[in-house]
Chains A and B, each alone.
Chain A
Amino acid sequence: MPLYRARVQVSLRPSVLDPAGEATRAAAARLGVDGISRLRIGKAIEVELEAEDSERARAQLELLSDRLLANPVIENWQLDFISDTSAGA
């Protein structure tokens, strides 16, 4: 079965306060990096998955993202395939 590699980017929804991001932005100013108007912290999850075809891989990864990796009440997620073709095995 082909191996699919993907990255799921999980970010807080724009309406949700990100205090850790704000603290990091304050530290950036102390470092001397000025002019940052926005800094939000999220997560990147890298996944490798075996599936019959890309359609099946996408469906599985969407289920994973929506039901486990992100909480849709407070987070958005974006799924990107790093390579759509078989990576060997």
Chain B
Amino acid sequence: MTLGIVVFPGSNCDRDVQWAAEGCLGIPTRFLWHEERDLEGLEAVVIPGGFSYGDYLRCGAIARFAPVLQEVAAFAQRGGRVLGICNGFQVLTEMGLLPGALTRNAHLHFICESAALEVSPGSCQWLQRYETGEVVSFPIAHGEGRYQVEPDQLRALEDNGQVVLRYQRNPNGSVGAVAGVSNAEGNVLGLMPHPERACDPATGGSDGRRLLEALLMA
């Protein structure tokens, strides 16, 4: 059981994820440099937060073509579990593994605070240790986290149970107050909030632990 953590030039939450998984929960991890192609022996892959390749052009637009992500896409298609946090969520939408896009916050401010989120796990494999309707607190830290999809597509996602995390107080103008979405199969999750920063009670609480602990379930 090993968790892969993708590292791009410009990633800055890779070590936070490592600390949360390995330091707090005892889940072995392996860093995956963006030019790597070997995902052998990995149970799941995290695309962490940061500013991949400087986020030039659009957030995640250049990362999408990284060699490691060609393998991650195939891994996800085989049913492997993939988690995209913040910039990782932006990357997953650019790759087309998740619907929608992340755009500039409605009020243009970079937001750095704790956010209350309502969880609707549905069939999302990463959220199986949370109750439906449960409210958790994860830190958020982003300038481009406003989730955008067309209204009919949002309805389809809601009907399909793919809107798995919603802000209780929408901080960035996301349509439907969407904070995180899952793919239809439930193995890929993308979210703007940072669960890895809510795994150590000394810093940021421990509401995020159960998300990574889902990896320890069969």
Residue numbers of A with Cβ under 8 A of B are 15-17, 19-20, 23, 68-69, 71, 73-74
Contacts and interface: CB of A to CB of B under 8 A. Distances in A.
B150 A15 contact: yes
A74 B101 CA distance: 7
A87 B146 CA distance: 43
A71 B99 CA distance: 12
A16 B149 CA distance: 9
Contacts of B100: 73
A19 B93 contact: no
A74 B148 contact: yes
Interface residues of B, number: 20
Interface of B: 57-58, 61, 65, 93-94, 99-101, 103-108, 146, 148-150, 173
A64 to B, nearest CB: 11
Contacts of B99: 73
Majority secondary structure of chain B interface residues (helix, strand, loop or mixed): loop
Contact of B61 (A17, A23, A68): A68
A71 B107 contact: no
Contacts of A71: 58, 61, 94, 101
A17 B149 CA distance: 11
21 contacts: A15-B150, A16-B103, A17-B103, A17-B146, A19-B104, A19-B107, A20-B104, A20-B108, A23-B108, A68-B57, A68-B61, A68-B65, A71-B58, A71-B61, A71-B94, A73-B93, A73-B99, A73-B101, A73-B148, A73-B149, A74-B101
Contacts of B146: 17
Nearest to B96: A73
Contacts of A73: 93, 99-101, 148-149
A16 B144 CA distance: 14
A17 to B, nearest CB: 6
Contacts of B101: 71, 73-74
A17 B148 CA distance: 9
List 10 A-B pairs, minimum CB-CB distance, nearest first: A73-B101, A74-B101, A19-B108, A19-B106, A19-B104, A74-B148, A71-B101, A16-B148, A71-B58, A74-B103
